[in-house]
Amino acid sequence: MTDESTTTGLSAIALAARIRTGAITATEAVEAHLERIDDRDDAINAFVTVCADDAREAAAEADRALADGEEVGPLHGVPLALKDLGALKAGVRHTYGSALFADHVAERTSAIVERLEDAGAVVIGKTNTPEFGHKGTTDNELIGPTASPIDTDLNAGGSSGGSAAALAAGMTPIATGSDAGGSLRIPAAACGVYGFKPTFGLVPDDGRPSAFGRELQHTTKGPMTRTVEDAALLLSVMDGPHPDDPNSVPVDIDYRGAVDRSIDDYRIAYSPDLDVFPVVDEVRAVADEAVTAFADAGATVETVTVDHGYSMAELTEAAMPAYTTSVLENATLIEESHGVDFRDQSEAVSDSLLAMLHVAEEYGPEDVARSGIARTDMYDAVQDVLADYDLLVTPTLSRADRELYADLGDDAWEWPMTWPFNWTGHPVASAPAGVTDRGHPVGLQLVGRRFADDDVLAASAALERERPWNHLYE
3-state secondary structure 241-306: CCCCCCCCCCCCCCHHHHCCCCCCCCEEEECCCCCCCCCCHHHHHHHHHHCHHHHHCCCEEEECCC
**Residue 213's pLDDT is what?**
66
Q: How far is CA 450 from CA 326, 336, 454, in A?
A: 23, 34, 10
Q: Is residue 325 part of a domain?
A: no
Nearest-angstrom CA–CA distance, 393 and 383: 13
Overall domain count for the chain:
1
- Tens digit of pLDDT for each residue in 290-340? 999 999 999 999 999 999 999 999 999 999 999 999 888 888 888 888 988
**Residue 173's pLDDT is what?**
98
Q: Please name the residues in contact with 445: beta carbons below 8 A apart, sequence gap of 6 or more.
A: 185, 393, 394, 395, 396, 417, 418, 421, 428, 429, 430
> Does residue 159 have an active-site annotation?
yes
**Residue 1's pLDDT is what?**
46
Task: List the catalytic residue out of 11, 83, 352, 430.
Answer: 83
Nearest-angstrom CA–CA distance, 26 and 80: 12
> Does residue 83 have an active-site annotation?
yes
Give just the sign of the alpha carbon dihedral 383, 388, 390, 392: negative
**Residue 3's pLDDT is what?**
65
Q: How far is CA 11 from CA 42, 66, 75, 113, 257, in A?
A: 24, 20, 11, 19, 17
Q: Is residue 361 part of a domain?
A: no
Intervals of the chain under pLDDT 70:
1-3, 5, 213-215
Q: Is residue 407 part of a domain?
A: yes
- Answer for the pair 404, 155: CB distance below 8 angstroms, yes or no: yes
Alpha carbon 439 to chain centroid, angstroms: 22
Q: At 238, which CATH number?
A: 3.90.1300.10
Give all strands of the β-sheet with 79-83 in edge-to-edge order: 47-50, 122-127, 79-83, 174-179, 220-225, 194-197, 428-435, 441-448, 391-395, 267-270, 300-303
Nearest-angstrom CA–CA distance, 129 and 135: 9
Q: Please name the residues in contact with 453: beta carbons below 8 A apart, sequence gap of 6 or more.
A: 196, 198, 199, 202, 235, 253, 255, 427
How much of the chain, in percent, has pLDDT values that exceed 70? 98
Q: What angle do CA 294, 296, 301 make, to 5 degrees?
A: 45
> How many CA atoms, within 13 angstroms, populate the side-chain half-sphere of residue 178?
29
Task: List the catalytic residue out of 110, 160, 163, 183.
Answer: 183
Task: List the catalytic residue out of 98, 148, 159, 460.
Answer: 159
Q: Is residue 295 part of a domain?
A: yes
**Residue 78's pLDDT is what?**
98
- Answer for the pair 147, 44: CB distance below 8 angstroms, yes or no: yes
For the entire predicted model, the pTM comes to 0.97
Q: Is residue 366 part of a domain?
A: no
Nearest-angstrom CA–CA distance, 323 and 8: 37
Q: How far is CA 177 from CA 86, 188, 219, in A?
A: 9, 10, 11
- Tens digit of pLDDT for each residue in 129-183? 999 999 999 999 999 999 999 999 999 999 999 999 999 999 999 999 999 999 9
3-state DSSP: the chain helix, strand, coil percent, rounded to 5?
A: 40, 15, 40
**Residue 376's pLDDT is what?**
96
**Residue 333's pLDDT is what?**
86
Computed over its alpha carbons, how large is the radius of gyration of the chain?
Answer: 21
- Answer for the pair 281, 450: CB distance below 8 angstroms, yes or no: no
> Backbone phi, then psi, for 30, in 5-degree steps?
-65, -45
Parent domain of 20 = 12-310+371-472
* Amino acid (one-letter) located at 399: R
**Residue 290's pLDDT is what?**
98
> Does residue 311 have an active-site annotation?
no
Alpha helices in 302-350 (DSSP H): 312-338
Q: Is residue 326 part of a domain?
A: no
Q: Is residue 145 part of a domain?
A: yes
Q: Is residue 441 part of a domain?
A: yes
Give the DSSP H/E element, type plus range, for residue 47: strand 47-50
Average pLDDT, the chain: 95
